[in-house]
Amino acid sequence: MVHLVRPRPSPALLLHAPPPPPLPSTLPLPLLPPPALASLLLSAIDSSTSLRHLRSLHALLVRLPLQPRSLPYLLSRLLRRLAALPPPHAPLPYALSVFSAHSPPDPFLAAALLRFALLTQPPLTPFRLFSRLLGITHGGHLPFLPFAFSPLAKSAAAARSLPAAEAAHAVSILVGGFDKHRYVENSLIGAYVACGDVNAARKVFDEMIVKDVISWTGIVVAYSRSGDMGSAEEVFAQCPEKDLVAWTAMVTGYAQNSMPTKALEVFERMAALGVGIDEVSLTGAISACAQLGAVRRAAWVKEIAERNGLGSNVVVGSGLVDMFAKCGLIDEARSVFHGMQEKNVYTYSSMIVGLAAHGRATEAIALFKDMVRRADVVPNHVTFIGLLTACSHAGMVRDGRYYFAQMKDKYGISPSPDHYTCMVDLLGRAGLVDEAFGLVRSMSVEPHGGVWGALLGACRIHGNTDVAKVAAEHLFKLEPEGIGNYVLLSNTLASAGKWDEVSKVRKLMRSRRLKKDPAVSWFEGRDGLVHQFFAGDNSHPRTNEIKKALLELVAKLKHAGYVPILSSIVYDVSDGEKERILMGHSEKLALLFGLLTLGSRCTIRIVKNLRICEDCHLFMRLVSRVEHVEIIVRDNMRFHHFKDGECSCGGFW
């Protein structure tokens, strides 16, 4: 038997957590060969679950007769295990003492120390540690391994610091000479991508001698995040091997850059090829369905989620709630919501926002009250945006004022410009334009374009040209390329008959070479194919049939009392020309195509990129009664459910 003078635990006792009880003054250690002893200690380190336990192992490592190569390896595994402990993590000075336990300094251990700093310390701490280690290098004792430079690049990525990424790149070349090491190059690509420098990432990629799937995927992600989906698609097509991350980057990239049809095409290819579906790729597909309002695609995506065991995932579930709500299936959204066993603030907020968009303000408020009764869910800023939007769409001024005050007074959430936008919209829609203007001038934060846009929209509804000019002046400075702001001011002035001022605004638009966003509507056919219609569109294969049916329907509606609302056209043209323009509105064309393909007594869903006009709103109401159909229109503000001649908005939108 061999006895240590100081009380130290036996490796056999350290194999299991929790930490051992208080130790006796002396403790026998088995006489084991060094390799067996190292194996025993390694097992103890990997199974340890507490800092106290690892400290005891650390004491053993520096005192036991281990082979020279075993000690730095075991100490590096000790640092790795320290980094994996739940917070609070081991203090950095203790990690430094582990590093110092081996003399001379070991490059493998140095890489482990930098990795520990990356995982447990504030961003850029690895750079400060590297500077200290560099001092050792100058003495000629510590040649760095390639793996030492990865924590520097990842630290720069975590901090979103381009100078730090460039510094990591520089030292990997000047200090390590590892500019052609694939592991280091991939880390640098990741750092430049995180910092938004696509060109630097591409330069590293192009200069690589050997590229792997991580290299190719990194560039696909770089272009997707930057919005350059053309380049992303080009690189993706050239990838010799495509992994889940690359496929997901394409799906989410298209979805985030408002290209939902392309996103779903890629997702379908991904599913058909048997590529694994994860939470991120599924969320991208869910977002694409929500943008399109595609009901059949939405049901298909939900089926895939359930088939891949992600139906109960709280992130996916929250996305499904949002998706079904944006597809006009608010009852399906509620079904998913109530079927979720786990709900968080995002789940509740998605449901509240969905109810708000469908004009179900009372239900949104009731759900909020249910939410705050739960101890584990606390409302956030998105929750209140949904709540205030619900009040705005229902004209509930008193409730809106109450919850706006509660947000700060009870929940400590300072109103953001987005919350002020909701309040300005609420007051403005209710005709309280002066109060809305006063709220803007009293804001505790700088108003953004959304705030002034809401005020300008209120002026358009209630004909307040004086405040409209003030709002527009701010918008022209904040969003000089925002064509919608010029159009809204022009329409406000036109409604007041101020044609000279309308001409000035339109001249300004021409001088800045601004073009009005074309009105476009989408309709999903029975086969799941999405049809697109522009205002005055003649490009659809069935255009002649659609226009003929439209004329017949208009005649039928006029017998039922329909009189076109010509004031919806703000051009200074004849009444006959105004009526002709109204008949070419994109949502009317989409509606007629829906009637032709689905027939009466069905549900027709239309998505439009702009706000529905008063004439189209009246038109939809009457069609729902005369043709016995339910029409669901999602414009850029909310949902309108037309049934039996009535609309869910109650004429308030």
Helices (H), 564-636: 575-583, 586-598, 614-626
In a 3-state reduction of DSSP, which class is residue 318? helix
Angle, helices 417-429/381-394, rounded to nearest 10 degrees: 10
What secondary structure does DSSP assign to 348-402, as a single string?
HHHHHHHHHHTT-HHHHHHHHHHHHTSTT----HHHHHHHHHHHHHHT-HHHHHH
In this prediction, residue 499 carries a pLDDT of 82
Question: What is residue 613's three-state secondary structure?
Answer: coil
Cα–Cα distances in Å, from 415 out to 34, 448, 598? 65, 13, 46
Within 8 A by CB and 6+ apart from 53, the residues are: 14, 17, 18, 19, 20
- Burial label, 477 (beta-carbon count in 10 A; 0-12, 13-18, 19+): exposed
DSSP 439: H
Q: What is the DSSP pairing of strand 639-643 with strand 603-608?
A: unpaired
- Give per-residue burial for 82-96: e unless 16+ CB within 10 Å, then b: bbebeeebbebebbe
H or E segment and range at residue 265 = helix 260-272
Instruction: Please state, in angstroms and rounded to a whole number, the distance separating the CA atoms of residues 557 and 553.
Output: 6
What SS3 state is found at 606? strand
Distance CA 70, CA 152 (A): 26
Distance separating alpha carbons of residues 176 and 303, to the nearest angstrom: 51
Prediction pTM value? 0.76
- Residues ≥6 apart with Cβ < 8 Å to 180: 208, 209
Please state, in angstroms and rounded to a whole number, the distance separating the CA atoms of residues 141 and 126: 20
Amino acid 331 reads D
Residue showing tokens 């969003």: 479
Number of H-type helices and E-type strands within the chain: 32, 8
pLDDT along the chain (653 residues), means of 10: 33 35 40 75 89 89 79 90 88 89 85 93 91 72 82 94 94 82 92 94 93 93 92 94 91 92 93 90 94 88 91 91 94 94 94 94 95 89 96 93 94 95 94 95 93 91 90 89 80 81 83 79 86 89 93 93 85 84 94 91 90 93 94 91 91 75
- HSE-CB of 125 using CA atoms within 13 angstroms: 16
- What dihedral do alpha carbons 620, 623, 624, 626 form, nearest 10°? 160
CA distance 493 to 508: 14
Distance (Å, whole) CA 475 – CA 421: 14
Sequence-separated contacts (24+) of 495-498 with Cβ below 8 Å: 495/460, 495/463, 495/567, 495/570, 496/463, 496/465, 498/465
- Taking the C-alpha atoms of residue 586 and residue 536, their distance in angstroms, rounded to an integer, is 7
CA 423, CA 401: separation in Å to the nearest integer?
Answer: 8
C-beta of residue 246 within 8 angstroms of C-beta of residue 273: no
AA identity, residue 566: L
Rounded-to-10 torsion of CA 619, 486, 638, 603: 40
Q: 481 φ, ψ to 5°?
A: -100, 5
Residues written for the chain = 653
Q: What does the buried/exposed string (b/e) look like for 564-591 if buried means 16 or more CB atoms within 10 Å of the residue's CB?
A: bbbebbbeeeeeeebeebbbbbbbbbbb
Instruction: Specify the amino acid at residue 251.
Output: V
Q: How many CA atoms lie within 13 A of 278 on its CB side?
A: 9
User: Token match 């503000």: residue?
Assistant: 637
The token pair at 535 is 């205002």
CA distance 318 to 327: 14
Residues 640 and 410: their CA atoms lie apart, in Å, by: 33
Give me the residue label for tokens 């109650």: 650
**What is the pLDDT at residue 414?**
94
- In whole angstroms, what is the distance from residue 279 CA to residue 285 CA? 10
| Helix (H), strand (E) at residue 523 | strand 520-524
CB atoms inside a 10 Å sphere around CB 525: 13
Please name the residues in contact with 650: beta carbons below 8 A apart, sequence gap of 6 or more.
359
* Predicted pLDDT of residue 166: 95
State the burial class of residue 106 (Cβ atoms within 10 Å of its Cβ: 0-12, 13-18, 19+). buried
What is the reported pLDDT for 137?
60
Integer Cα distance of 71 and 563 in angstroms: 90
The token pair that represents 395 in the structure block: 């004209």
Report d(CA 101, CA 61) in Å as an integer. Answer: 9
What is 447-513 written as a DSSP string? --HHHHHHHHHHHHHHT-HHHHHHHHHHHHHH-TT-HHHHHHHHHHHHHTT-HHHHHHHHHHHHHTT
Task: Name the DSSP class of 140.
Answer: T
